[in-house]
A and B are shown apart, each in its own frame.
Chain A
Amino acid sequence: MPLRGSREGAYLDEQILLAAGAPPPGAFAAGGGGSRLFGGRRAAAVSTVSTVVFLGVVVVLFVFAPGAAAVRHTFFNPQQMWQAFRGDPSKGLYSVGKGLILNVEMFLIAEVLILFCALVIAVLRQLRNPVLFPFRMLAVIYTDVFRGVPLIIVIFAIGFGAPALYIRGISTQSDFVYGIAALVLSYSAYVAEVYRAGINSVHQSQVAAARSLGLSQWKSLRYVVLPQAVRTVIPPLLNDFISLQKDTALVSTLGAVIEANRAAQIDSSTLFVYSSYTVAALLFLCLTIPLARFTDHLIARDVGRRMAGGGAIR
């Protein structure tokens, strides 16, 4: 406001100052009244009641819906669920439980490869050496393409495309290998971007300090930037791995790999009910929920640390 300093402005300032008297008594009290202590107890009571009511409505809908009995029979049939979990070769049933172990195997192998490939790609995009220009360009194209193409198309392209090429050593691999290759190709693009965000979050002054000691660009990255970057991106990385863990189920579309989802498909077509899918879903939840809680724990710890480190410059 151009009025400040002028006589008119001084008058306005005074008005504003006078208008802002002390707040009336009770102005800071919460709408519901009561002290903070009892407010806490009240809040607990309210949340309990609302949870009970909410769950009640859900259960009523589920139990008294017109098709409830049919749904229970097809999706929540305990006997069929147990059969699907265990499998029974004599009846042509595959074990969803065993299938899940295959999922976990694929997940673990893919994860290690992804962590490595993605780091290489992220670092390639970061290095400014002119000799590396073609690699940098390749890395950019790669991340653009594989983040844009749906995973299921990558799985089809490799699972059906690689055998059709008749290349020795490549075309004769199992669907298990093709599935992992597709997961690695697709997820490395995402994870490379997560790494890159982490690298960019390390302040330039850290790079300046490293370079000023005579460390090369690569050594600064290796000893100063990457260790800090990786620490920052662990929670988002875990988030991507929760997603990877369940996306391993898509490899079932190749048909020959009897992992959890494929086992459930076969079982449901044998038993004529979908309970096997429920088993697969529950088993996946058993893996992803602990991972999700662990991620939350890490994020909370990180926030706590940042608060504690807030006074670093004293």
Chain B
Amino acid sequence: MTGLGATGGLEGGEPGEYQAAGEEAIRLEGVHKSFGDLGVLRGIDLSVAPHEVICLIGASGSGKSTLLRCVNLLEPVNEGRIFLWGHDVTSAGVDENAVRRHIGIVFQSFNLFPHMTVLRNITLGPTRVLGLSRDDAEDRGRALLSRFGLSEKKDDYPDRLSGGQQQRVAIVRALAMQPGIMLLDEVTSALDPELVAEVLGVIGELASAGMTMLIATHEMGFARDIADRVCFLDEGVILEQGPPKQVFTAPVNSRTQQFLRRIVEAGRL
């Protein structure tokens, strides 16, 4: 068994160990993914260093979300390989649950569990997956909630919360697993404009705390401020990537220029 099997690999240990090993946190090699005849990812090569923040930009349908879902194995890839801290997670015999323990993902539509209180949402993973006692898990949950200003909401059910609060809880839920990588899938797209800032603020905190993040986003201003590197996706390939300053001010590819022009015209940058 290679990679993240039952014996070797990631489980148990703190992800920090693997980051310190100097490996790339994520490496994608020639990743292809199609749904039926529709090729959504058509050869993605990308590597993410530990503590690096990468923003994926591009039009809807360009494959940003699918890319994130492939990285934490929610979608199986058709071709190519994905490495996490040097382990090939696309090889046969990989325990996908063990992989996902180390990767947090936050979805556009929050996907909180509606039948659980905020605190239960957060402690479910730590108790049922990591095997923490209820008390330990709740301590961890309460600490995270208070850090992100959600302490009063811990006993509420998700439908009593605003969208911004729900999304922050979803982020806390992912963080409670103490992941080494966070994947954020257009986490502000379903929010009213006045609620976007509170969620972006949390992500900013994570970035300054050194979290490795792969962020699919339509918030160009945010991408410019937070990203170490911006990747422009178009029809399933990364057409252009580089530091945000370079991509946003001096894009080389004509498709990138066209995309950014439209964004600027829409007043989003």
Contacts and interface: CB of A to CB of B under 8 A. Distances in A.
Interface stretch (B140-148, B158-166, B209-217, B234-242): B158-166
Contacts of B125: 213-215
B163 A212 contact: no
Contacts, number: 72
B124 A223 contact: yes
A216 B98 CA distance: 10
Contacts of B231: none
B190 A215 contact: no
Interface of B: 69, 72, 74, 97-98, 100-101, 103-105, 107, 109-115, 124-125, 128-129, 158-159, 162-163, 166, 173-174, 177, 190, 192, 195
Contacts of B173: 213
Interface string A296-314: 0000000000001100111
A215 B126 CA distance: 10
Using C-beta atoms within 8 Å of the partner chain, give the interface range for chain A: 20 to 34
B97 A215 contact: yes
B163 A314 contact: yes
A306 B128 CA distance: 29
B107 A205 contact: yes
B64 to A, nearest CB: 16
Label chain A's interface by main secondary structure: helix
Most B CB atoms within 10 A — which of A213, A227, A313, A314?
A213
Contact of A213 (B124, B158, B159, B195): B124
B129 A209 contact: no
B163 A208 contact: no
A309 B159 contact: yes
A211 B111 contact: no
Interface string A196-237: 000000000110111111111001000110011001000000
B97 A216 contact: yes
Contacts of B111: 205-206, 208-209
A212 B124 contact: no
Contacts of A314: 162-163, 192, 195
